[in-house]
Amino acid sequence: MQDTNMVRNVALIGHGNCGKTSLAEALLFAAGKVNRLGKVDDGTAVMDFEEEETARKISINSSFHNYTWKKHSVFLIDTPGDDNFLNETIFASHVCDSALFVIGAVLGVKGQTIKFARIIKERGLPTVIAISKMDRERADFQRTLGQIRESLPLTPVVIQLPIGAEDNFRGYVDIVEGKAYLFDGDKGGVKACPVPEELADEVASLRESLMESVAETDDELIEKFLEEGELSQEELVTGLQRGVAKAAIAPVCVCSATHNKGSVPLLDTINACLPSPADRQPILAKKPDSGEEIELQPTTEAPFSALVFKTMADPYAGRLTIFRVFSGILKGDSSYNASKKTAERFGQLYVMEGKEQKPVESAGPGMIIAVAKLKETATGDTLCDAARPVLITPPEPLKPVISYAVSAKKGEEEKVFSSITRMLDEDLTLSLTRQTQTRQVLLSGVGKVHLDVVSSRIKRKFGVEMELTTPKIPYMETIRSSARVQGRHKKQSGGRGQYGDCWIEISPLPGGGYEFADQIVGGVIPAQYRPAVDKGIQEAMEKGVLAGYPVIDVKIALVDGTYHNVDSSEMAFKIAGSLAFKKGAQEAGLVLLEPYVNMEIKVGKENVGDVMGDLNSRRGKVMGMDSMDGMEIINAQVPQSEVLSYANDLTSMTGGLGSFTVAFSHYEEVPAQIAEKIVATANTENG
């Protein structure tokens, strides 16, 4: 079992196309874990191995690997950078001990970069910032560093100053040591060289700035620094480690992953600067029975505890449950699921290595472990020692914000929906619902790309295709006023005929749904036929009168009628009730209603004007505003028909920085001009 002090658990975090996966590949290659440098562009990356990832050249899932460097065991989590898969990063940030925050030297800080930095800040993650792609055309270290200082809620301290850039990126100056190094060979190594004269002043300035930033993280160091004006080399190194562990400062390094430049120094920085599980604060958990809060000590001597943060289907191993060990030691026999209050029998324990799994005998704090074919355990569950049950609070998954109607080829419906159900186990941001008004099944997720990927996965894994189409809006109909009408059904065709005759009073019932009142006096309609009138009315309400949409908020009073001793029947009165309702609804004045949704939209101050203007153009009503964590929160009510593609539109307006939630609010009358078009379209479709 690895000494916990020598374990590192690091998530690579950053916006799309910043080079996270390429950097993970370079670290694995430089550490000797893999024998070739995998590349995203040619589909050879070991961390992006699913077909959807190699085809799109983006990370879709969090992927896992590990390496050993100078006796340190490092577990890597490569997280997606696309907003459609942000949930993967959120869950990874809850189980890692530190972050390697990757920012490209060409694109610099984007809206998504700020979003990820806020996740890091919120979680209090010790962080090393890697400015990547220093070899690319237009790579600019100083510009990128300036953007980091200006835009991100982190305190960057430069510990590596690049020597050259673009094609001339050839080395770096170690600010802590005050020494320079040139990159040497394709294995990521370096060789010492003199500090370039043109960088000498900048190196001196950065070293003084580094000392000051490190000193400010510790009361004793700041006192010495103010008195003497400098720190010793030992104090600087120790202070840097402690400052990073407290997430007070974030060292900045430089690299070019595709050319494997800067990988070895980064391996050393991860070992030296990022904390082990033992250096982190104990995880808080609760006792299942009392709810009492307790601390889980990150030691091998403590009782075993772990949080399941991912479930995935493996074509060979079956269903894989992936969890982070927070305390104690797990050996492959059995464990207790405190969330489900049941024992789980474990088979072989594995560490994930890209798409492969490597068997291990035991697992301790900081390790990411996979187990196949657990029966009860799901994402978010706590695994622990049965004698010391605890519950670790999992992160809240992102709520779906976009929905599409799902359909399948004839004869494949059952297979498609059973496949979707299996995907729901893997992806907590998916939901499947049935819309009764439109008779459509809706698949909801966090973006169109997200749902497209789910569709292609289902095709690849289960061999069935599903079609995603824009969903119909669940409009409703209601009435404006009251009316008294007769519904009469009389049919004679030789032999026994059909006869039903009823009078009803129809009136609005705002917010009341439907109410039926039997007000028959004197038995003019026998008691056995009156429920049939009610049933006929309800069936007519389901299909509507104006445009075929369900009718709501109506009160019906059955007040009069006649019957025939021989020809009357339940069916005849059911038809009479339906006829009465249709006639009465038209006389009472039908109107079309549309669903409104509550939206909570989080954007930067600079985007508020654009977003509010856009909401107005969508017939939205801003209900209020608030501020939190440097973001503006806009609360609005908007017609559902106007926000079907809002996820894409908000990304465009805010550069990926905005986010929103959506939930059903209420129904309101559709404006006349819009209603006319909806009714005309519906009647055309209905023939």
pLDDT level of residue 383 (50, 70, 90 thresholds): very high
Residue 352's pLDDT is: 92
CB neighbours of residue 185 within 10 Å: 10
Q: How far apart are CA 505 and CA 583, in angstroms?
A: 11
> Half-sphere exposure of 343 toward its Cβ, with a 13 Å CA cutoff?
5
> Half-sphere exposure of 403 toward its Cβ, with a 13 Å CA cutoff?
22
Residue-wise pLDDT tens digits, 563-602 = 999 899 999 999 999 999 999 999 999 999 999 999 999 9
| pLDDT more than 70, % of the chain | 99
pLDDT level of residue 668 (50, 70, 90 thresholds): very high
pLDDT level of residue 494 (50, 70, 90 thresholds): low
Residue 658's pLDDT is: 87
pLDDT level of residue 146 (50, 70, 90 thresholds): very high
Residue-wise pLDDT tens digits, 238-265 = 999 999 999 999 999 999 999 999 999 9
Edge-to-edge strand list for the sheet holding 179-184: 160-163, 171-174, 179-184, 189-193
Q: Which residue has the tokens 């094609």?
A: 167
Q: Is the distance from CB of 577 to CB of 537 less than 8 angstroms?
A: yes
pLDDT level of residue 457 (50, 70, 90 thresholds): confident
The torsion angle over the Cα atoms of residues 286, 287, 290 and 294, rounded to 10 degrees, is: -60
| Domain boundary assignment for the chain | 4-192+249-279, 283-384, 402-466, 477-588, 593-684
Instruction: Outline where DSSP puts E strands in 79-166.
Output: 98-104, 127-132, 156-158, 160-163
Residue 316, pLDDT above cutoff 80:
no
Tell me which of 577 and 346 has the higher pLDDT: 577
Residue 631, pLDDT above cutoff 70:
yes
Instruction: Kindly state the helix (H) or strand (E) to which residue 442 belongs, with its residue range.
Output: strand 440-445
Instruction: Please state which architecture CATH assigns to domain 477-588.
Output: 2-Layer Sandwich (3.30)
Residue 346's pLDDT is: 86
Q: Which of 3.90.640.10, 3.40.50.1380, 3.40.50.300, 2.160.10.10 would CATH assign to domain 4-192+249-279?
A: 3.40.50.300
Q: How far apart are CA 99 and CA 122, in angstroms?
A: 12
Instruction: Kindly state the helix (H) or strand (E) to which residue 487 belongs, with its residue range.
Output: strand 483-491
Residue 687, pLDDT above cutoff 70:
no
Q: How far apart are CA 681 and CA 671, in angstroms?
A: 16
Residue 115, pLDDT above cutoff 60:
yes
Quick one: CA dihedral 522, 524, 528, 534, positive or negative?
negative
Nearest CA among 202, 330, 131 for reference residue 321? 330
Residue 229, pLDDT above cutoff 90:
no
Beta strands 293-296 and 160-163, pairing class: unpaired
Q: Which of 3.40.50.800, 2.40.30.10, 3.30.420.10, 2.60.40.10 would CATH assign to domain 283-384?
A: 2.40.30.10
Instruction: Please state which architecture CATH assigns to domain 402-466.
Output: 2-Layer Sandwich (3.30)
Q: How far apart are CA 29 and CA 260, in angstroms?
A: 8
> What does the pLDDT average to over 608-612?
94
The mean of the pLDDT values for the chain is 92
Nearest CA among 131, 127, 197, 184 for reference residue 162? 131
> What does the pLDDT average to over 469-480?
93
316-352 burial: b if 16+ Cβ within 10 Å, else e: ebebbbbbbbbbbbbebeebbbbbeeeebebeebbbb
Nearest CA among 105, 119, 156 for reference residue 273? 156
Domain range 593-684, CATH class:
alpha beta
Q: Is the distance from CB of 406 to CB of 396 less than 8 angstroms?
A: no
Residue 435's pLDDT is: 86
Q: How far apart are CA 672 and CA 590, in angstroms?
A: 12
> Half-sphere exposure of 531 toward its Cβ, with a 13 Å CA cutoff?
2
> What does the pLDDT average to over 82-101?
94
pLDDT level of residue 497 (50, 70, 90 thresholds): confident
> What does the pLDDT average to over 453-479?
90
The two domains 402-466 and 593-684 share their CATH topology (first three levels equal)? yes
Residue 55's pLDDT is: 83
Residue 651, pLDDT above cutoff 90:
no
CA distances 164 to 140, 156, 269, 623, Å, are 10, 21, 21, 53
| Radius of gyration of the chain from its Cα atoms, rounded to whole angstroms | 32
pLDDT level of residue 1 (50, 70, 90 thresholds): low
Residue 360's pLDDT is: 92
> What does the pLDDT average to over 211-234?
91
Q: Which residue has the tokens 């900048």?
A: 202
